[in-house]
Amino acid sequence: MLRKTPGSSARWKSLGVAVSIVIAIVAIFVLAHALRHVDYQEVFAAIGRTRPGLVALALALVATSYGSLTLYDLLALRTIGRSEIPYRIAALASFVSYPIAHGTGAVAVVSPIIRYRIYSLRGLDVVEVAKICFLTGLTFWLGNLTALGLSLVYEPGAISLIDYIPPAVNRLLAAALLLGIAAFLVWSWLKPRSIGTQRWSVRIPSGPVVLLQIAIGIFDLGAAALAMYVLIPPETHMEFSRVVVVFIAATLLGFASHAPAGLGVFDATIVLGLAGEDKEPILAALLIFRFLYHFLPFLIALSLFGVVEGTRGLRAKDSP
């Protein structure tokens, strides 16, 4: 942990806010420019032509993606030594926190609060919940960055429309990214590691667990990207590798923007990276995916969190 100088924290926060605002503004401009000549009647017609079986398959893949997310919390609990917490509690905390936090755009604030409200019922304190949030974030970024690196090595030109970097340079950057992740894997494998200070220290997962984290992250992202892919009409002749690269970039930029559910940023990246002259089929697939992956889980998570809070209130009322 770096020692903070006076005002350094405020400067980093200001820089982060500025970067998020710039990403959001650029994305909105790009999206508005890309949608100028879109035939929205054709977009809704394309939604109507989407076969129910494909929508059901996409929904199953979304459920698979969210199911793998629950393993993030389970691994984090095992890492901090709270293996007595049952899987159903880890699954509840993971599923409830992710859609609500991401849907509001305040992941760093909302996710720890929701997790604490759930885990505190099982005796976890604020420090333990903070460690869980750190470790679940580590799993997310390891999986996403590894998937991005691997897909860019295979398909470096897929993201050139987004970052305006030649495919050869994209491939070199992807190789450097994978080398960095490999170095972290080796570093964690050699001996037990921890970061932080004496007052607040978190143990880094061992090498095999880090490898498992990466596998879970890739699986989670792959299921979500595949859900998007199956909704794209076959006449677009879209390659899955291209969808994966653009989807990862859209996801990471959406998180970086702190916009609710990456609104505008995620969409602009998908349209810019996947849609050519015929944007209507991609927009139709994007709208269906948005409903299945963001809106529907958000409503379910809110309902479940309401049940948790309602149960907590009843217990407090009944207690002497």
Query: pLDDT digits over 142-192, tens only?
Result: 888 898 898 888 888 878 777 778 888 989 999 999 999 999 999 989 888
C-alpha–C-alpha distance, residues 82 and 43, integer Å:
49
Q: Residue 41 domain-assigned?
A: no
- Residue corresponding to tokens 């923007």: 257
Separation of alpha carbons 210 and 184, rounded Å: 9
Is 239 inside any structural domain? yes
SS3 294: helix
Question: What are the tens digits of pLDDT across the range 6-63?
Answer: 454 556 556 555 666 666 676 666 666 666 677 778 888 989 999 999 999 999 999 9
Instruction: Tell me how far apart the alpha carbons of residues 98 and 305 are, in angstroms, rounded to a whole number.
Output: 12
Determine, yes or no, domain membership for 248.
yes
Residue-wise pLDDT for 179-235, tens only, equals 999 999 999 898 888 887 767 778 888 888 889 989 998 999 899 999 999 999 888
Q: Which domain holds residue 233?
A: 46-311
Residue 282 lies in a domain: yes
Residue 237 belongs to some domain of the structure: yes
User: CA 95, CA 70: separation in Å to the nearest integer?
Assistant: 7
Distance CA 126, CA 85 (A): 16
Domain-located, residue 38:
no
Count: domains in the chain: 1
Burial of 78 (0-12, 13-18, 19+ CB in 10 A): middle
209 domain-assigned: yes
| 35 is a domain residue | no
- Per-residue model confidence (pLDDT) at position 6: 47
> What are 93-138's pLDDT values in tens digits?
999 999 998 888 778 888 999 999 999 988 999 999 999 999 998 8
CA nearest to 245, candidates 179, 184, 172, 170: 170
